[in-house]
A = this chain, B = another copy of it.
Amino acid sequence: MALSIQEIAAQLGGEVRGDADVTIDQVAPLERANGREIGFVAHPKYLKALQATSAAAVIVPLALADSTDLPRIVVRDPYLYFAQVAQLLNPVVSPYRGVHPSAVVQSTLPASAAVAPLAFIGEDCEIGENVVIGPGCMIERGSSIGEGTLFHANVVVYADSSIGARCILHAGCEIGSDGFGFAPRRDGSWEKIPQIGRVLIGDDVEVGANCTIDRGALDDTVIESGVKLDNMVHIAHNCRIGENSAIAGQSGMAGSSTIGKRVRIGGQSGILGHIEVCDDVVLSGRSLISKSVSEKGVYTSTIASQPHQEWLRNTVHLRHLDEMANRLRALEKKMKELESKA
């Protein structure tokens, strides 16, 4: 795949300056882009990298439109444009066509769907046009998958789940497993509460490798359109994630929590159960939301490491903070008495 920047701009928009016929075949970071590659710069602070690059062409914002003589495409959002060029030059081409003879398919599929080797589709599933089911995927009865959705290998979809169009599910993610619901018996053992809800996933959702999304207990677990989950994210039963929210790796949401639209959650973070988080909240990496959040903004409980001996000296006091606070108050009282005498 090789395109001139003129051809790229014809497809994606943007204004070409300099030699419009220069041909590129790949995207690359400015620092190591070569004479067949295009880079991008989003901000004037990277001017130096722009001037030093060996790239064939660059994508620049209006503010830098004339800061280089290189062939360039001037756009409003260089990073977004770079992503679009990368897609143009690296189209997703699945090696799977039709139903492999080793696959076991018990539902009717459109001719455009592909089922890779050793995959299974149970009864009463609805599979959209151009769906690709990767090798080793297990789709249980009664599930539906929207058009153009791509499953990588060994994905599991429990019965009666619903997944929208143009989603990407990465290897080993499990959709629709039982939520963690048990009622205690008097002897300390547990009675299982049947998990009779479903998982409903919207369109354009990406689910990372080895994620788990539990089905609802009585109601459904809902992942709205445009949501992106990184690897090993755990979504418990009855959660709802609003449109275009993004959750980084190894984070988890406990049961019955709801997050709004465009929420961004850093890696290894957590949200306790029965919480509501409003739209446009950002949670820093390795932080915890323990109470509902009704005001947008950035929230944090990250604790960074120190050299071990310093850490020991400092954190021993964490166990005595209340005592320290009391002593501070006592001193203030005495100080006031002394001052009143003075």
A293 closest partner in B (C-beta): B305
**B182-A27 in contact (CB<8A):** no
**Interfacial chain B residues near A172, Cβ < 8 Å:** 154, 156, 172, 174, 210, 212
**How distant is the Cα of A116 from the Cα of B297 in the complex, in angstroms?**
49
Give chain A interface residues in 172-212, CB to chain B under 8 Å. 172, 174, 177-178, 180, 182-186, 188-194, 196, 204, 206, 208-210, 212
A325 and B324 contact, CB distance less than 8 A:
yes
Contact of A156 among B29, B95, B153, B313 (CB under 8 A): B153
Bound-state Cα–Cα, A45 to B232, Å? 38
Those of A153-182 within 8 Å (CB) of chain B:
153-154, 156, 158-159, 168, 170-172, 174, 177-178, 180, 182
Q: Which of B118, B194, B218, B268 contacts A252 (CB 8 A)?
A: B268
Contact present for A304 and B302 (CB under 8 Å):
no
Residue on B with the closest CB to A325? B317
- Contact with A254, one of B134, B177, B249, B312 (Cβ below 8 angstroms): B249
Interface contact B136-A158, CB-CB below 8 Å:
no
CB distance from A12 to the nearest CB of B (A): 11
- A302-324 contacts to B (CB < 8 Å): 302-308, 310-322, 324
B268 touching A270, Cβ below 8 Å: yes
Residues of B within 8 A of A332 (CB): 327, 331
- Of B119, B123, B180, which contacts A230 at CB under 8 A? B180
* Cβ contact within 8 Å between B210 and A246: no
Using a CB-CB cutoff of 8 Å, which residues 6-34 of chain A contact chain B?
26-29
Give A291-305 as 1s and 0s: 1 = Cβ < 8 Å from B's Cβ atoms: 100000111111111
Query: Residues of B contacting A262 with CB < 8 Å?
Result: 188
Q: Is the CB of A342 within 8 A of B339?
A: no
Choose from B141, B234, B285, B324 the contact partner of A270 (Cβ within 8 Å): B285
Q: Among B188, B272, B334, which residue has its beta carbon within 8 angstroms of that of A339?
A: B334
Question: Judging by beta carbons under 8 Å apart, are A174 and B180 in contact?
Answer: no
* Contact pattern, A 232-275, Cβ under 8 Å of B = 1, otherwise 0: 10101000000110101110101000000110000110101000
How far is it, in angstroms, between the C-alpha of A303 and the C-alpha of B299 when the chains are bound? 12
A335 interface hit (Cβ, 8 Å)? yes
Could you tell me if B306 and A285 are in contact, using CB atoms closer than 8 angstroms? no
Residue-by-residue, is A115-133 near B (CB-CB < 8 Å gives 1, otherwise 0)? 0111110110000000000
Residue in contact with A307 in the complex, picked from B212, B298, B314, CB distance below 8 Å: B298
List 8 A-B residue pairs with CB atoms under 8 Å apart, sorted by A's residue number. A83-B191, A136-B156, A168-B192, A190-B228, A300-B312, A301-B306, A310-B319, A316-B322
7 smallest A-B Cβ distances: which pairs?
A138-B153, A301-B305, A298-B308, A177-B209, A290-B304, A83-B183, A156-B171
